[in-house]
Structure 1
Amino acid sequence: MAEKKTLQGKKVAILATNGFEQSELTSPKQALQDAGAEVHIVSPEKGKIRGWENTDWGDEVQVDKTLSEAKAEDYHALVLPGGLFNPDALRQDEHAVRFVQSFFKPGYNKPVGAICHGPWLLAEAGVLEGRKVTSYPSIQTDLKNAGGDWVNEEVVCDNGLVTSRKPDDLPAFNRKVIEEIFEGRHAA
Structure 2
Amino acid sequence: MRIAFLTAPEGVEQVELTEPWKAVADAGHEPVLVSTQSGEVQGFDHLDKADTFRVDQVVAEASAGDFDGLVLPGGVANPDALRTDEKAVAFVRDFFDQGLPVAAICHAPWTLIEADVVRGRTLTSWPSLRTDLRNAGAEWVDEQVKICEGGPNKLVTSRKPDDLKAFCDSLLSVFGEEASRRNG
Please give the TM-score of this superposition, normalised by the length of structure 2: 0.93
Gaps of 5+ in 1: 1-9
Asked whether 1:114 is paired with 2:104, we answer: yes
In angstroms, what is the RMSD of aligned CA positions?
Answer: 1.1
Q: What is the identity, as a one-letter code, of the residue corresponding to 2:127? A: P
Deviation at 1:69, TM superposition (A): 1.6
Gaps of 5+ in 2: none
- Partner residue, 1:45: 37
Percentage of identical aligned residues: 50
Q: Is the partner of 2:118 in helix, strand or coil? A: coil
Query: Hey, what's the Cα distance between the residues in 1 that align with 2:33 and 2:61?
Result: 12
Aligned length: 175
Deviation at 1:45, TM superposition (A): 1.1
Q: What is the identity, as a one-letter code, of the residue corresponding to 1:67? A: V
Query: Hey, what's the Cα distance between the residues in 2 that align with 1:54 and 1:94?
Result: 26
Query: Hey, what's the Cα distance between the residues in 1 that align with 2:67 and 2:96?
Result: 13
Among 67, 73, 76, the residue aligned to 1:81: 73
Among 38, 45, 55, the residue aligned to 2:47: 55
Q: Is the partner of 2:37 in helix, strand or coil? A: coil
Deviation at 1:171, TM superposition (A): 0.2
- Partner residue, 1:142: 132
Q: Is the partner of 2:49 in helix, strand or coil? A: strand
Query: Hey, what's the Cα distance between the residues in 2 that align with 1:163 and 1:115?
Result: 5
Deviation at 1:55, TM superposition (A): 3.2
Trace 1:1-188 onto structure 2 (pairs within 5 A): 10-17=1-8, 18-105=10-97, 108-159=98-149, 160-184=154-178
Deviation at 1:36, TM superposition (A): 1.0
Q: Is the partner of 1:109 in helix, strand or coil? A: coil
Q: Is the 8 A contact 2:46 2:75 kept in 1?
A: no
Deviation at 1:54, TM superposition (A): 2.8
Q: Is the 8 A contact 2:12 2:44 kept in 1?
A: yes
Q: Is the partner of 1:169 in helix, strand or coil? A: helix
Please give the TM-score of this superposition, normalised by the length of structure 1: 0.91
Query: Hey, what's the Cα distance between the residues in 2 that align with 1:155 and 1:172?
Result: 7
